[in-house]
Structure 1
Amino acid sequence: MKFGMVSLAWQSPFSDALGQFKLAKKYGCDIYEIVPEDWSTIDVDAINAAKAETGIETPTITGAFGDTRDMSSDNPEYRKGGIQYVKDMVDFAVKIGAKVVAGPMYSAVGKARQITEDEKKQAWDWATENLKECAQYAQDKGIRLGIEPLNRFETDFINTVEQGLDLIGRIGYDNVGFLLDTFHMNVEESNIPAAIRAAKGKIFDFHTCANNRGTPGEDNFNWEAIAAAIKDAGYDDYCLIESFTPDCKEIAKAASVWRPFAESPEAIAENGIPFLKKVFK
């Protein structure tokens, strides 16, 4: 297992690759997950140079899905925007040596509504059709896609592993699986270890977030049970802490980021990374 931080915890939008990777290395990270919120701040050459200098790897990237990147939107331009964003992330992943592109790519974060069954069916059809196109594009480039279920306050679409398995089955590509996040699972799954085991063979990325988005280990989770389930699911790849700076333009409001989650952003890694390494040893 390799351990690290998601960029949203420390910088939004991501831009300072060398500074961020040095910080990650300081706190014992092996990896760093970039969230490309704004392509104008992304410098591929700087990222690859920072990787070479620090030894920090970037095997995964996660998307920031706002309204204009919504694959199941009623607005056809937003659906096109979602497809193009995922394709752009796949191209970016290839350039920086990442293997997984992940996130709640089926919809916009923060879209939580009561809709009719017909409207719901249409959203599923759009998401399935558009994600098939993205899956083919990613497969051609050797990239896997990780679908992330979110809690009910951040999406009305995919909340549970069971629903995620349904969507993955409809898409029908072997390179489509899960990004699982313990924060969201804490809200939606009646049994987190059982849900993890149900995703066996389909977990491509794993966010180990505290129940309050703060530091793992300073929360109410049974981490030993979670670690046992991850082992049973055959997953041994990437373990990342996702927290948020309130500066996150695409996500902060939708994710209800109203306050700091620790005494400092760095403290989340300083205390959380050693804890995770011990739990998932």
Structure 2
Amino acid sequence: MPTDTATNPIGVHALVWVGDTSPRSVAYAVEKTEATGFDLLEISLHDSGNLDVAAAREALRSAGLGVACSRGLAFDADVSSEDLAVVERGEKLLHDSLAITRALGGTHFTGALYSALGKYGRPLTDAGRRNVVTVLRRLAQEAAGESMTLGLEICNRYETNVVNTAHDALRLAEDIGEDNVLIHLDTYHMNIEEDDLVRPVHEVGDRLGYVHVGENHRGYLGSGHLDFTAFFHALGDIGYSGTITFESFSSAVVMRGLSNDLAIWRNLWSDGEDLARHARAFIGNQLHTSRSR
């Protein structure tokens, strides 16, 4: 059945606005997120050392915005490694990031929490996968004590070798064995790895906890070839009422290190405000249409 008239929170990724998390950048991202009509700002914690958590929390509160946090790991802090020292560094990053999310007022910490963000030169090993399960089980148990959830974002084969499909993510969540570990679907990655944009939504069902909406080329929504109508109807089929966040990257904004990790080699857009206003209207229209069936 389609979703009811309740409105999904609609978010925007901070990298649409700024490339870092300095106080000035976060203030700007919050201002623009509120001005363009979004309900939530997603903050990537790749630059968390520069984040003034108290100031960011106050800015979000004053603007009436929700917050979610996301991140991937680095190869020298990779919880899917067989090197326990590397795993330990990755686990510390995850626990620190969970604490930042909580301090910002967020309840959902998501992303490629299970590996480095980058192209691997070999498949995931059994030992590496066991390390992922062990670390994320401990993280989920800590999160549950704070009434928080974790998201397993499904990323394409060029960004991880751990979770590439909805089926992979469900298997990993089952092995972790904690109810607050949810699945995070992203249309950009689904376009690369899944057969279509509908069956994974149905397969995940009530384990779906977060959604990224992005075009196949990460540009303006509707300017690529993705079947967003089918995707939003599938969300309606399962009664998804969670956050839907617009994500798009351009080398005009994303800081060089992360831009290289994500292979953002060109300026897909330069006017983040125009991009975001278009995305907010596009998502709102898709939700309205999916509920009108």
Please report the TM-score for the alignment, with normalisation by the length of structure 2.
Answer: 0.89
> Residue 200 of structure 2: which of 195, 198, 208 is its match?
195
Q: Structure 1 residue 262 and structure 2 residue 269: aligned?
A: yes
State the identity as a percent: 26
> Residue 10 of structure 1: which of 13, 17, 21 is its match?
17
> 1:245, CA displacement in angstroms?
4.1
> Residue 153 of structure 2: which of 148, 152, 160 is its match?
148
User: In structure 1, how many angstroms separate the alpha carbons of the residues matched to 2:176 and 2:256?
Assistant: 30
Contact 2:250 2:270 in 1 (8 A): no
Alignment match, 1:27: 36
> Residue 85 of structure 2: which of 77, 80, 86 is its match?
77
> 1:79, CA displacement in angstroms?
1.0
Which structure 1 segments of 5+ residues have no match? none
Q: Counterpart amino acid of 2:85?
A: E
Contact 2:17 2:28 in 1 (8 A): no
> 1:179, CA displacement in angstroms?
1.4
For residues 21-60 of structure 1, the aligned pairs below 5 Å read 21-58=30-67, 60=68
Offset from partner CA, 1:182-210 (integer Å, 9 cap, x none): 00000000021110111111111110011
Where do 4+ consecutive residues of structure 1 move more than 6 Å?
none
Q: Counterpart amino acid of 1:75?
A: D
> 1:251, CA displacement in angstroms?
2.9
User: In structure 2, how many angstroms separate the alpha carbons of the residues matched to 1:50 and 1:252?
Assistant: 26
User: In structure 2, how many angstroms separate the alpha carbons of the residues matched to 1:68 and 1:232?
Assistant: 41
Alignment match, 2:188: 183
RMSD across aligned positions (CA): 1.6
Offset from partner CA, 1:17-67 (integer Å, 9 cap, x none): 221111112222111001111232111221122123322221x11113222
Which structure 2 segments of 5+ residues have no match? 1-7, 289-293
Contact 2:202 2:238 in 1 (8 A): yes
Q: Counterpart amino acid of 2:221?
A: P
* Number of residue-to-residue matches in the alignment: 277
Alignment match, 2:5: none
SS in 2 for 1:220: coil
